[in-house]
């Protein structure tokens, strides 16, 4: 039988058994990322924190399933022990207080990566519902090329409209 199709119907105990097998590479019958949506938050938090403390890295795909408490524990462990590397992909899953902690830590340490050219070619627009809560914001990246093409297209439309007025 296909284990993937069974996942939604398994109880927490069975899922936890699968999680334990998935964390052991030799016994793995199914990738951990396939099980995480069904695992308990307690189990996910334990795995994510253990992985970071053991390897010094964390997979961004696991962060979506970890609680803010676990993510905070990872940030504190990283800062207090000057240990590991946190990928940029975890930023959307951190509380604003944790992002500030990482920023202050990186600033004090002088540990900033230079932006790549592709980063410099993007403009970030922020849209908000007007609430103070940052979780409601939507971030959109627009490349300068796209903006230039949109501007040229608008100018062409304006020119066409001017021609219509002359008639």
**For residue 49, is pLDDT > 90?**
yes
Residue-wise pLDDT tens digits, 62-118: 888 999 999 999 999 999 988 888 888 888 999 999 999 988 988 888 766 666 655
Quick one: how far is CA 77 from the chain centroid? 19
Instruction: Give this prediction's pTM.
Output: 0.62
137: burial class by Cβ within 10 Å (0-12, 13-18, 19+)? exposed
The larger pLDDT score, comparing residue 135 to residue 88, is at: 88
- pLDDT above 80 for 16: yes
What was the pLDDT predicted at 138? 47
Q: Rounded to whole angstroms, how far apart are CA atoms 114 and 120?
A: 10
pLDDT in the model for residue 124: 53
d(CA 126, CA 138): 6
Q: Is the pLDDT of residue 133 over 90?
A: no
DSSP state for residue 145 in the 8-state scheme: H
Angle at 140 between CA 137 and CA 141, to 5 degrees: 145
Q: How far is the C-alpha of 99 from the C-alpha of 105, rounded, in Å? A: 10
Percent of the chain with pLDDT over 70: 64
CA distances (Å), origin 5, targets 2, 9, 29, 70, 93: 6, 8, 14, 29, 28
Among residues 79, 121, 123, the alpha carbon closest in space to that of 104 is found at: 79
pLDDT digits (tens, 9 = 90+) for 148-166: 666 676 676 666 655 555 5
Are residues 21 and 28 in contact, defined by beta-carbon separation less than 8 angstroms? yes
* pLDDT of the residue at 101: 92
- On the question of pLDDT at 37 being above 70, the answer is yes
Which residues fall within 8 angstroms of residue 163, CB to CB, at 6 or more apart? none
pLDDT, average across residues 24-53:
83
Average pLDDT of the residues in 129-146: 51
Which pLDDT does position 139 carry in this prediction? 46
Q: Over 50: is that where the pLDDT of 137 sits?
A: no
């Amino acid at each position: 039988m296909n284990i993937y199709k069974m996942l939604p119907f398994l109880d927490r105990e069975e899922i936890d058994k699968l999680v334990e097998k998935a964390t052991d590479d030799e016994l793995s019958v199914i990738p951990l990322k396939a099980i995480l949506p069904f695992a308990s938050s307690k189990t996910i938090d334990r795995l994510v924190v253990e992985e970071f403390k053991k390897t010094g890295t964390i997979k961004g795909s696991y962060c979506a399933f970890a609680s803010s408490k676990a993510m905070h524990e990872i940030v504190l462990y990283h800062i207090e022990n000057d240990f590991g590397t946190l990928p940029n992909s975890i930023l959307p899953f951190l509380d604003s207080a944790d992002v500030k902690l990482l920023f202050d830590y990186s600033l004090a340490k002088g540990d900033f990566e230079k932006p790549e050219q592709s980063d410099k070619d993007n403009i970030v627009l922020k849209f908000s519902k007007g609430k103070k809560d940052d979780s409601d914001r939507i971030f959109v990246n627009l490349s300068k090329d796209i903006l230039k093409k949109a501007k040229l297209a608008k100018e062409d439309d304006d020119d066409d409209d001017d021609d219509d007025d002359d008639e």
